[in-house]
Structure 1
Amino acid sequence: MAGLTTRDIEGYNEQLQSDAQFLCSDQRMDAELVDRLVLQLNRIYPQILNDKEACKFRRLSVPTKVRLPELLKYLRAKGEEACHEFYRALHIHAEEVYASLPTRIRQREMADSKLANNVGILQKRYALNDKGPMFFLSCFSLVVGIAVLYYYGEGETLRSTGAFLHCSAAKLSKDAKDVFISYAEVGKQIL
């Protein structure tokens, strides 16, 4: 269920039922906006709202507080596609109202919580250690230094590096100290 949105869980019909009270009480849903929504549905989707029905919902003699609930009830009775097209028209003509719908707010909250969960998982998944880049660079430099000493060191160089390796091993961990000291001892034996 991790990838589901509110739209997947409930259809547009159920969303419209949830949003109906908000839409009917919102002051931004005035006569002009309702008229534009009805015209959009009538002109673009006459199978959803034909001319006769559009005239009924555009009648200015009936208050908007009566026409809007009737329109929403009618669209819900028409089915999922009609409700979807209403949301699309609302998004086009009144984006601020569309963004403040209760179902849209829930979708954003679900998406935000899902994003927060994913970020937490990604941080856990890719944090190989907590030492940071300086630790990596120091280890890399150490390995490069040993490789340079090993491949390019000649007899005289190895004799002079033995004391250096013993001194530099003083502040390292036990394992690193053992490696340095054994390297210095092997270098003395070779010469």
Structure 2
Amino acid sequence: MIPRYRSYLSYTDRLLQDTTYLKSNRNLTERIVDKIILQLNRVYPQVLTNKEAEKFRCLQTPLRTRLSDLLKHLTKKGERECQEFYRALQNNGDKVYATLPSRSSLNLSDPLEISPNQEKVILNDHGPVFFLACFSVAAGLAFLMYYNNVEPKTPGSAKKVFGFTAIGFGRHIRNILISFLEDATLGQ
């Protein structure tokens, strides 16, 4: 019995589990199989030698027989070869790759296992409160800059706030705020 959990499921086990599905899948056409064989032949280091690639691409042999022989050959060769087969299948037959039975039990943390349709983009993990806090700071600074330009003669203007605000920021932002204060002071 083949284990169902990702931590125990090697590429060889997955290939053994997926073999019957791959042999019976009609979306796996002769063109796709030929592309997979060529990729396995051209990858460095070679998974299939030239002689093996010619054998599996022989048009006199039916496609399902060649595919069956290829899958048996790869499971005998080892783990890396099976992994390269899955990589070639994903590159050349994404629809077939996405519907594999072994993928239903996978954890998608492996970069090889993420298809373009399932890719999730995470910009940050801070959440909406962090966004609101940053937006509030930016809006507050914009308000202070506007207030400073509209009424520069007001006692206790925004210049003092900018001066104290510069203390808590990094070097680049501090330099910008201080240069703004110097420019504003020179203009009066």
TM-score relative to the length of structure 2? 0.53
Question: 1:62 deviation in Å?
Answer: 0.6
SS of corresponding position for 1:77: helix
What corresponds to 2:17 in structure 1? Answer: 18
Matched letter for residue 82 of structure 1: E
Aligned residues of 1:18 and 1:103 also touching (Cα < 8 A): yes
Question: 1:65 deviation in Å?
Answer: 1.0
Based on CA coordinates, which of the two structures has the bigger radius of gyration? 1
- Equivalent positions of 1:169-184 (< 5 A) are none
Aligned residues of 2:5 and 2:106 also touching (Cα < 8 A): yes
SS of corresponding position for 1:60: coil
What corresponds to 1:76 in structure 2? Answer: 75
Question: 1:7 deviation in Å?
Answer: 3.4
Question: 1:6 deviation in Å?
Answer: 3.6
Q: CA 1:45/1:59 → structure 2, altered by over 3 Å: closer, same or farther?
A: farther
What corresponds to 1:85 in structure 2? Answer: 84
What corresponds to 1:63 in structure 2? Answer: 62
Count of equivalent residues = 105
Matched letter for residue 55 of structure 1: E
Large movers: runs of 4+ above 3 Å: none
How far does the alpha carbon of each residue in 1:100-129 deviate from its partner, in whole angstroms, 9 at most, with x for none?
0001122269xxxxxxxxxxxxxxxxxxxx
How far does the alpha carbon of each residue in 1:46-69 deviate from its partner, in whole angstroms, 9 at most, with x for none?
531010000000001111010000
- Equivalent positions of 1:59-138 (< 5 A) are 59-107=58-106
How far does the alpha carbon of each residue in 1:83-106 deviate from its partner, in whole angstroms, 9 at most, with x for none?
000000001111111010001122
Matched letter for residue 7 of structure 2: D
Quick check: which one's helix share is greater? 1
Question: 1:31 deviation in Å?
Answer: 1.0
Q: CA 1:7/1:106 → structure 2, altered by over 3 Å: closer, same or farther?
A: closer
Alignment gaps of 5+ in structure 1: 110-191
Aligned residues of 1:12 and 1:84 also touching (Cα < 8 A): yes
SS of corresponding position for 2:6: helix
Q: Aligned equivalents of 1:31 and 1:99: distance in 2? A: 18
How far does the alpha carbon of each residue in 1:3-43 deviate from its partner, in whole angstroms, 9 at most, with x for none?
xx943211000000000000000001111111000000001
Deviates more, 1:46-55 or 1:33-42: 46-55
Identity %: 45
Aligned residues of 1:6 and 1:103 also touching (Cα < 8 A): no
TM-score relative to the length of structure 1? 0.52
Q: Aligned equivalents of 2:55 and 2:45: distance in 1? A: 14
Matched letter for residue 52 of structure 2: E
